[in-house]
């Protein structure tokens, strides 16, 4: 049953937890500041410092999870269909949060929402293409 859950819910849930810990919760406009604060710096070989933010980490985690989700969508098991439906529900929830809650009107959450949309589209497209290959249409021999 856990295989049917969309893994992209993890970075979205992490963003929700960050948004809820802000003063004002979902109505806070400080989420953009929290996402852009450098957590640590990585020294590059060019002697430059690369500041890594919470938003960067969430986007990187989302991309890794999106790759795994795309691999999962190539299976034709029943859990894949449930996964697609749950991914669609996750996309609707993300879209509502993005449009209605000020704490979610950030580039980081927009990109996470876009990843969820791509997961939904890729899942349905892969399922349709796979189902089309499984159905054989015979040619009428005249």
In this predicted model, what pLDDT tens digit does every residue of 30-59 receive, in sequence order? 888 888 889 999 999 999 999 999 999 999
User: Cα(2)–Cα(111) distance, rounded to whole angstroms?
Assistant: 25
Tens of pLDDT, residues 93-137: 999 999 999 999 999 999 999 999 999 998 888 877 776 665 555
Residue 142 has pLDDT above 60, yes or no: no
pLDDT digits (tens, 9 = 90+) for 64-103: 999 998 888 777 677 778 888 899 999 999 999 999 999 9
Domain tally, the chain:
1
For the chain, the helix, strand and coil percentages under 3-state DSSP, each to the nearest 5: 70, 10, 25
Residue 142 within any structural domain of the chain: no
* In a domain? residue 36: yes
User: Residue 43 falls within a domain, yes or no?
Assistant: yes
Say if 128 falls within a structural domain: yes
Q: What is the pLDDT of residue 57?
A: 95
Contact 108, 55 (CB under 8 A): yes
pTM: 0.84
139 domain-assigned:
no
In a domain, 50, yes or no: yes
| Assigned domain for 79 exists | yes
Q: What is the pLDDT of residue 79?
A: 79
What distance in Å separates the CA atoms of residue 124 and residue 76, rounded to the nearest whole number? 11
Residue 139 confidence (pLDDT): 60
Q: What's the pLDDT at 52?
A: 94
Domain range enclosing 93: 4-133
pLDDT at site 133? 61
Report d(CA 79, CA 2) in Å as an integer.
Answer: 9
Can you point out the beta strands (E) in the chain? Answer: 38-43, 49-53
Specify if 37 maps to a domain: yes
Cα(58)–Cα(8) distance, integer angstroms = 11
DSSP, residue by residue, 76-97: -SHHHHHHHHHHHHHHHHHHHH
Q: What is the pLDDT of residue 84?
A: 85
Q: What is the pLDDT of residue 135?
A: 56
């Amino acid at each position: 049953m856990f295989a049917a859950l969309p893994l992209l819910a993890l970075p979205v849930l992490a963003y929700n937890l960050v948004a809820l810990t802000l003063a004002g919760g979902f109505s806070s406009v400080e989420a953009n500041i929290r996402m852009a604060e450098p957590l640590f710096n990585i020294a590059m070989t060019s002697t430059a410092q690369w500041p890594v933010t919470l938003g960067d980490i969430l986007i990187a985690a989302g991309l890794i999870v999106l790759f795994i989700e795309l691999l999962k969508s190539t299976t034709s098991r029943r859990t894949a269909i449930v996964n697609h439906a749950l991914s669609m529900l996750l996309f609707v929830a993300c879209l509502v949060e993005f449009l209605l809650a000020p704490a979610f009107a950030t580039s980081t959450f927009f990109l996470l929402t876009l990843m969820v949309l791509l997961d939904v589209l890729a899942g349905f497209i892969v399922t349709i293409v796979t189902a089309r290959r499984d159905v054989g249409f015979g040619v009428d021999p005249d």
